[in-house]
Structure 1
């Protein structure tokens, strides 16, 4: 009887200690969903320079956070919105190349998201707008038999810092997010 009580106490202690380490995501974690999209490595941007077919193209944001364009070279893109990128490209082209450039930029392909843990096929997947945690899990082949199916841990970059929070499977994800599906207790 004493051994059974000790075993139960140890199991409860382990369960409670894992709960004690959990902290809900900060308000900024969800606020990023309503902010304008910020470019980063892995994104592909379609830059249109009107009446300049040689400059209009699709450009990848490299590991350094730049896009490389003809004539003007590397343009910083990491952390900028497409509107800010349009202005930066126009300013560079205005500096000795074009008198009054008209630029449009749009995200052609978003950087991937990552999923791991208790899913059939964890890995890197292409992001499309409107994805939720549940849809991402479906793309990864669904839950395993041991998966916690109500929520998951989501890691994302918030204001230049990496944050992790537990979210419902109905929560939206963003490009570059990492989803971890935990194993359930019973």
Structure 2
């Protein structure tokens, strides 16, 4: 089925795509940091960030690190140690456990819900954590960012997955931020039933015709009557039947294509 191939292709390409530029991770409540100071093993500490966004270290005491990037935390600790404690200290900060950042993903994924973000993570990596797209997932997704200071309205990012698959546009694989709400839209579908090899629901495309729809359904069976294909379509809330539809007849979303059995 073409829809399944499309979605599988996205997940495979995710493994080989170049990750987009992601803002450096910002430390928050629950994160565990490993602090090391070169040539000062007594100052090495493994600390968890408190609910107030602080950690406690030897010599310098409580340090506020909440919402600072890892490099900013490194600079801050370096400056505090250099202020009367050590000469030219070399500090390294490593995030051992990521616990503070969360994002929600809803819609057409197999396991929608709230997820912890482990460091720098991209949109497609989060989809993978949610066990991938559903069979009926569409090509479009929407990310709503959390409102930031100085903003009147939250940032909205619209993603076209077709750009990623067909043109290799990795810019659609944006970084996920704390507080993001992600929604995967459902595809517009049409249905093929009767004497075809793979009757099923398929993702609709603007250029869809009956012959293309039959091809995606792996073609007619030996019992099919190609001249008597019909389309069941809803028009203004009423069900209409188009008999003896031509092979180049356009297919609309929600159409049901019925291939009858030949009796001759």
| Greater relative contact order (Cα < 8 A, sep 6+) | 1
Deviation, structure 1 residue 143:
2.8
Structure 1 residues 45, 96: closer, same or farther in 2, change over 3 A? Answer: same
The answer for the alignment partner of 1:102 in structure 2 is: 90
For the pair 1:37 / 2:49, whether they are aligned, the reply is: no
Contact 2:140 2:185 in 1 (8 A): no
Which residue does the alignment assign to 1:127? 118
For structure 1, the 5+ residue unaligned runs are 1-32
Q: Which residue number corresponds to residue 183 of structure 2?
A: 181
Instruction: Tell me the equivalent position of 1:82.
Output: 70
Deviates more, 1:134-143 or 1:60-69: 60-69
Report the equivalent of 1:143: 133
Cα distance, 1:97 vs structure 2: 3.1
1:60 to 1:163, Cα distance in 2 relative to 1, 3 A:
farther
Alignment of 1:117 onto 2:102: no
Q: Displacement, 1:99?
A: 3.7
Which residue does 1:153 correspond to in 2?
142
Q: What SS does the corresponding residue of 2:27 show, helix, strand or coil?
A: coil
Asked if the contact 2:146–2:180 (Cα under 8 Å) also holds between the matched residues in 1, the reply is no
Q: TM-score, normalised by structure 2?
A: 0.46
Q: What is the count of residue pairs matched by the alignment? A: 152
* 1:59 CA drift (Å): 3.0
Secondary structure of residue in 2 paired with 1:54: helix
Gaps of 5+ in 2: 1-19, 162-171, 189-264
| Two-structure CA RMSD over aligned residues (Å) | 3.2
Distance in 1, matches of 2:187 and 2:21, equals 34
Whole-Å separation in 1 of the counterparts to 2:56 and 2:177? 22
Q: Is the 8 A contact 1:115 1:178 kept in 2?
A: yes
TM-score by length of 1: 0.61
Matched, 1:73 2:64: no
Alignment match, 1:17: none
Deviations 1:98-124 (A, max 9, x none): 344221223344444423312222221
